[in-house]
Structure 1
Amino acid sequence: MTNQIALWLGILILGGLMLDFAFFGTEHLLFLTRKLMDLIDWVAFWR
């Protein structure tokens, strides 16, 4: 992955998070963060 692709991907992710926060509040972000942590734990178990 080149630096330019990584930069654009980061901008898109941050933009999406800002839009989600602006329109729906923090409840969705907290839910997704908890699910991401569960996924990381599950993947680490199978490593």
Structure 2
Amino acid sequence: MTNTVAAWMAGLILLGCGADMVLNDGQVLFFLALKLVDLMEWMAFWR
């Protein structure tokens, strides 16, 4: 992955996070954070 591609991907992620904060009050980010916690707990169970 080149630096240009990484910069574009980071910009798109930040733009998506900003849009979620403005349009949905961060509900999507909160949902994804909860799902990530569930995934980490599930992975710890199988460890």
TM-score by length of 1: 0.72
List 4+ stretches of structure 1 deviating above 6 A: none
Structure 1 alignment gaps of length 5 or more: none
Q: How much identity, in percent, do the aligned residues show?
A: 48
Distance in 1 of aligned mates of 2:11 and 2:29: 17
Matched AA of 1:34: L
Larger RCO, structure (CA 8 Å, separation 6 or more): 1
- Aligned counterpart, 2:14: 14
Pair member with larger Rg? 2
- Deviation of 1:11 (Å): 0.1
CA RMSD of aligned residues (A): 1.9
Report how many residues are paired.
46
